[in-house]
Structure 1
Amino acid sequence: MIKTLLAQVKEYKKQSLLSPLFAALEVFFDVSIPFVISLLVDKGVQAGNMQHVILYSFTMLVLATCGLCCGYLAGKFAAQASAGFAANLREGMYEIIQTFSFSNIDKFSTAGLITRMTTDVTNVQNAYQMIIRIVVRAPLTIIVSMMMCFLVNTQLSIIFLVAVLLLGTALFIVIRLAMPNFQKAFRKYDDLNASTQENIAGIRAVKAFVREDYETDKFNQAADTIYHLLVKAEKIVIFNSPIMMTVIFSCIILLAWFGAHFIVVGKLTTGELVSLFSYVFAMMMSLMMLSMIMVMVSMSTASAHRIAAVLQEKPDIINPETPIMEVPSGDIVFEHVGFTYKHGSTKEVLTDINLSIKSGEIIGVIGGTGSGKTSFANLISRLYDVTSGQVFVGGYDVRQYDLEVLRDQVAVVLQKNVLFSGTILDNLRWGNENATEEECIEACRQACADEFIERFPDKYHTWIEQGGSNVSGGQKQRLCIARALLKKPKILILDDSTSAVDTATDAKIREAFAESIPGTTKIIIAQRISSVQHADKILVLENGRISGFASHDELLTTNAIYREIYDVQQQVSGDFDEEGGNR
């Protein structure tokens, strides 16, 4: 884990080394000041020597200034290193997430990945900043102060040694008891983020069903869980402060008592006693800082493990060593394909799929909910890999292609249409970043999107809000179809992507496809038979198996499932589907 995280320090190694270096120099100057104070008191003040007073006062001023400068530089470099480290962690996670397959993302969940890139990185950033500065400064201050104390008076220094051992033991116990609660709390942040994300994404449904109170209660429960875990941990951590103060004041009392006795008998000078007081305060304050840092580090340990898990995750789908860089045609062949979403699972989503599709054919895919229609489409563009068998595109196994090359030639309009904040043209150019405005307009004409775009005041420069919230479901679907057409793919997959448009518009889109992209293999996944009945062949899926694969007329006479779907839809839709399909 540590090796994985430190690999992200990258260009901030210099600052990461300079910060502890200047922190060490700061300790040297700070620890030197009490020694000079003892000389000032003994050789200057008590001896009545004004020259020594001026000399040692000036020396203290120089040491304090040097210590201040070193402290400033240590803090500056620590801030640069930690902020840069955090930026690299976020960039590193974001880059590797882009390589994840759908199964990789499912493993962590969207909310979990967001928590790792925000809360967890912030925790690690704060801990890293403290480690490269304070974790060097505090122990070094304790060690050097202890050495100076033994040089001044060995007997009195035993008091500090015992105090340090007591505080170290107490700190270890406090952290050991508090750390499990901190770890549980940070794991619960995923639930909190998931609740927030789900609520905001589905705010229309929440308001439509008047579920605001329910969602508020659900969020409050997640927040309260984190609250109680953190309070439980803090109740343990708060013992750290009174233990510290008790030990510190005990040291001061014992030092004053025995120090005064030693001065009377001549074993200690007043200046040496003053320096001992300074050293004990420096040691105790360093221990207090160290205790707070250890608590912070213990909190960030769980975050560090979660971040490392993402950085160490290996994408399920990767490019072959010598990938094929061109898709020859839109031919598709499935040979004994079996597929499960979870590795090792015995429950197959698709079982023994065998079929052949020629380039340029229009293939309809129909079946009940959960029959495997979307899974079938996902295997063509290699969004998932088959569990068994092979999928061929253009005569080659899809696992032999470069991923970008394959997906660039297999355009998919997904079931859940996604638009991004930006203009309509910005969204369309996701299909082809170099597309001219005329090409975008033509693609929209083919997708029947031009009719509503022309009604917008800004037309193709109309701003689309995040997620396409300012356009309707049908408008969003047509924009996504136009975006896919701009890719000019060899294979076009429409995954129930005309469900929100009327049958007349659906028919117009199919006619435009036949005219504009005749050589493109078109796979249309639909719930309505009217959307696929004019296809060259229709694939009927039932429970992940092929129930039929033939033309509309053949299936009506040979496939009971298809006939049943057709009869039900005819009864419900009457002549509307038929009329829309013939327009």
Structure 2
Amino acid sequence: MKKILPFLKPFRIAIAISLVLTLLQTISEVYLPRLMSNIIDHGVVNGDIDYIWSIGGVMLLVAAGGMICSIFASFFSAKIATGFGRGLRDKVFKHVVSFSQDEFDKLGTASLITRTTNDINQVQQVLILTLRVMVMAPIMAIGGIFMALTTDAKLSLVFLISVPILALTIFLIARKGIPLFKVIQKKLDNLNRVLREKLIGVRVIRSFNRVKYEENRFNDANLDLTSTAIKVNKIMAFMMPLMMLIINFSTIAIVWFGSIRISNGDMQVGDLMAFIQYAMQIMFAFMMASMMFVLFPRAQVSATRINEILDTTSSIKNSNNPKSTSSIKGSIEFQNVTFHYPGAEIPAIANISFRANPGEVTAIIGGTGAGKSTLVNLIPRFYDVTEGTVLVDGIDVRKWNLDYLREKIGFVPQKAVLFTGTITENIKYGKQDASDTEVERALEIAQASSFIREMKDGLQTQISQGGTNVSGGQKQRLSIARALIKKPEIYIFDDSFSALDFKTDAKLRAALKNEINNATVLMIAQRVSTVMDADQIIVLDEGKIAGIGTHQELLQSSSVYHEIVYSQLSEEELA
């Protein structure tokens, strides 16, 4: 909890006001039984109506003041907690955005979502209670004990038995229940993971007729969470009945011994009634403390999980090297590059060396799992190399400023990603200040204009979540247009033509030639027809280079490329 407390600094004045108001509210509640005792002992017993009215008026003023303080204290504590939650969520989100892919792989997307929403909400709710209870409970307990002692010291001996029993009960129940809260959060992560997989993979689930299987998976995760929640709630459910039992027995003892003292003339009726009220306040203070015992451990677990995010530093370090502000021309060079995924026994790519120059198209081809996407992911530093060096304009990419480097790269991922919003907004994601003419030009080159014209709202057509209202090929063309509108110095097409038919593929590549003829282009493809015209083709096989050259050169020198070509093209097509 200590590490997230600095997020309360902007609310120091509001916290001080809330605590003062809570203090005044508590003092008013502690003082009211004394006034009631005076009314009974001096007003009712003596029949002094004027005294009853005067003290009754004071009671009304004290009660009204306490109510006003309570209302404003609740307002300020809610404002502080929600502001704290907003600031913490903002910090966590910005920190997560800075993560490399390694950190996402380690923490998991489902867990990151849970921590950013549910865990912060848990801390926020406990903060509201803390701002009230941490002042109210101790003052009410201490004030109640002090007022009870001044009312009748001998009768206060009842608390020597009831209070320790009450405290021990809270301690034993809390010790049993606290460890289960951490288990609940982990099981909530698992439930979110299963649900997320189900929602993302709904088409695959339906196509393989595995709906029932996924329902059972979700039910298992749901029941696992539910059973643990029921278990901890059963334990915590004992707290309130046991506390009420102790309080009721304490009240019986107070009334029993108090009546004896009244009959002996050692105590007055008003004092006994006031004493009972003070006993209730003391017990109520312990009840409020018990609520903190129930909720605080869960908030502590949530705070620990939030701290894990804030303490995680990205393995990709940004550079402040002055060289990183120089202009990028676009040349790319790999020098003996090897990369291991965390925990992998063998490298994804090994000893890769090649050069890609501006004005040239460098195609990368190879079988599934050959390391093609891994290779291009090293250029914008989604991952950092394990060994060797990736150079852009002769400078190690680790020495470039990340924002500047990525601004100069137009990246089209293997899996096309669109965001909710209009088509125009999705294209302008690549260049926010782009004009409508630039948007239309990018769509024309990407061969997307034809299907957009057929849409009712054209460029203002809303893209649904995940782009589910457009086809795979349409998604890819929109993703390509988004990269084109940037007019970057480096283009990376990660198997971006796989969902296109041969005719659209050919037209798109022809349109791209004039548009990106001065840029460095890296093009991953599965089709030989897509890479045949490249200035150089890199053939990857099991993470290693199996050949570099033009189409004709590789047909003669690379058996791997020869095999790929003859598996896709006929003799007539090759001729």
TM range (shorter): over 0.9
Deviation at 1:284, TM superposition (A): 1.4
Farther-moved stretch of structure 1 (345-354 vs 385-394): 345-354
Q: Is the 8 A contact 1:371 1:541 kept in 2?
A: yes
Deviation at 1:345, TM superposition (A): 5.5
Deviation at 1:482, TM superposition (A): 0.8
What residue is the counterpart of 2:336 in the other structure? 336
Q: Is the 8 A contact 2:410 2:486 kept in 1?
A: yes
What residue is the counterpart of 1:225 in the other structure? 224
What residue is the counterpart of 2:199 in the other structure? 200
Matched, 1:30 2:29: yes
Deviation at 1:15, TM superposition (A): 2.1
Which aligned pairs between 1:313-462 and structure 2 lie closer than 5 A?
313-323=312-322, 324-342=324-342, 346-462=345-461
Matched, 1:499 2:498: yes
Aligned partner of residue 432 in structure 1, secondary structure: coil
Counterpart amino acid of residue 392 in structure 1: L
Aligned partner of residue 154 in structure 1, secondary structure: coil
Matched, 1:568 2:567: yes
What residue is the counterpart of 2:168 in the other structure? 169
Counterpart amino acid of residue 403 in structure 2: E
Deviation at 1:552, TM superposition (A): 1.1
What residue is the counterpart of 1:44 in the other structure? 43
CA distance in 2, matches of 1:341, 1:15: 48
Deviation at 1:139, TM superposition (A): 2.1
What residue is the counterpart of 2:464 in the other structure? 465
What residue is the counterpart of 2:247 in the other structure? 248
CA distance in 1, matches of 2:363, 2:440: 27
Deviation at 1:403, TM superposition (A): 0.9
Deviation at 1:93, TM superposition (A): 0.9
Q: Is the 8 A contact 1:330 1:360 kept in 2?
A: no
Aligned partner of residue 28 in structure 1, secondary structure: helix
Deviation at 1:510, TM superposition (A): 1.4
Per-residue CA distance 1:44-96 (angstroms, 9 max, x = gap): 11122222212211111111111111111111111111111111111111111
What residue is the counterpart of 2:148 in the other structure? 149
CA distance in 1, matches of 2:422, 2:506: 27
Counterpart amino acid of residue 158 in structure 2: I
Aligned partner of residue 191 in structure 2, secondary structure: helix
Farther-moved stretch of structure 1 (387-396 vs 284-293): 284-293
Which aligned pairs between 1:532-571 and structure 2 lie closer than 5 A?
532-570=531-569
Deviation at 1:389, TM superposition (A): 1.4
Q: Is the 8 A contact 1:327 1:405 kept in 2?
A: no
Which aligned pairs between 1:176-191 and structure 2 lie closer than 5 A?
176-191=175-190
Aligned partner of residue 411 in structure 1, secondary structure: strand
Which aligned pairs between 1:13-24 and structure 2 lie closer than 5 A?
13-24=12-23
Which aligned pairs between 1:85-124 and structure 2 lie closer than 5 A?
85-124=84-123
Matched, 1:528 2:527: yes
What residue is the counterpart of 1:265 in the other structure? 264
CA distance in 1, matches of 2:435, 2:27: 66
Identity over aligned residues, as a percent? 37
Counterpart amino acid of residue 14 in structure 1: I
Per-residue CA distance 1:353-398 (angstroms, 9 max, x = gap): 1112222211111112221111100111111111121111112111
Count of residues in correspondence between the two structures: 574
Per-residue CA distance 1:423-458 (angstroms, 9 max, x = gap): 111110011111111111111111111121122222
CA distance in 2, matches of 1:10, 1:421: 36
Q: Is the 8 A contact 2:320 2:401 kept in 1?
A: no
CA distance in 1, matches of 2:14, 2:499: 56
Q: Is the 8 A contact 2:319 2:402 kept in 1?
A: no
Q: Is the 8 A contact 2:39 2:52 kept in 1?
A: yes
CA distance in 2, matches of 1:249, 1:566: 88
What residue is the counterpart of 1:289 in the other structure? 288
Deviation at 1:111, TM superposition (A): 0.9
Counterpart amino acid of residue 534 in structure 2: A
What residue is the counterpart of 2:8 in the other structure? 9
Aligned partner of residue 47 in structure 2, secondary structure: coil
CA distance in 1, matches of 2:494, 2:91: 32
CA distance in 2, matches of 1:11, 1:416: 42
CA distance in 2, matches of 1:546, 1:8: 51
Q: Is the 8 A contact 1:40 1:57 kept in 2?
A: yes
Structure 1 unmatched runs, 5+: none
CA distance in 2, matches of 1:16, 1:532: 65
Counterpart amino acid of residue 335 in structure 1: Q
CA distance in 1, matches of 2:246, 2:211: 52
Deviation at 1:102, TM superposition (A): 1.3
Per-residue CA distance 1:153-172 (angstroms, 9 max, x = gap): 22211212321221111111
What residue is the counterpart of 2:299 in the other structure? 300
CA distance in 2, matches of 1:335, 1:36: 86
Provide the TM-score with structure 2 as the length reference.
0.97
CA distance in 2, matches of 1:318, 1:25: 51
What residue is the counterpart of 2:489 in the other structure? 490
Counterpart amino acid of residue 312 in structure 2: E
CA distance in 2, matches of 1:71, 1:444: 60
Counterpart amino acid of residue 142 in structure 1: A
Aligned partner of residue 380 in structure 1, secondary structure: coil
What residue is the counterpart of 2:73 in the other structure? 74
Deviation at 1:120, TM superposition (A): 1.0
Q: Is the 8 A contact 2:328 2:408 kept in 1?
A: no
CA distance in 2, matches of 1:255, 1:527: 86
Compute the RMSD of aligned alpha carbons. 1.6
Per-residue CA distance 1:254-311 (angstroms, 9 max, x = gap): 1111101111112211111111000111111222222122201112221111111112
CA distance in 1, matches of 2:350, 2:385: 11
CA distance in 2, matches of 1:423, 1:345: 41
Aligned partner of residue 7 in structure 1, secondary structure: helix
Deviation at 1:20, TM superposition (A): 2.1
Counterpart amino acid of residue 195 in structure 1: V
Deviation at 1:541, TM superposition (A): 1.3
Counterpart amino acid of residue 381 in structure 1: P
Per-residue CA distance 1:323-367 (angstroms, 9 max, x = gap): 51234311111112121221x755321211111222221111111
Counterpart amino acid of residue 218 in structure 1: R
Runs of 4+ aligned residues of structure 1 deviating over 3 Å after TM superposition are none
Per-residue CA distance 1:2-41 (angstroms, 9 max, x = gap): 2321122242232223222211111111000111111111
Farther-moved stretch of structure 1 (251-260 vs 354-363): 354-363
Deviation at 1:208, TM superposition (A): 2.3
Deviation at 1:200, TM superposition (A): 1.4
Aligned partner of residue 166 in structure 2, secondary structure: helix
Structure 2 unmatched runs, 5+: none
Deviation at 1:97, TM superposition (A): 1.4
Counterpart amino acid of residue 304 in structure 1: A
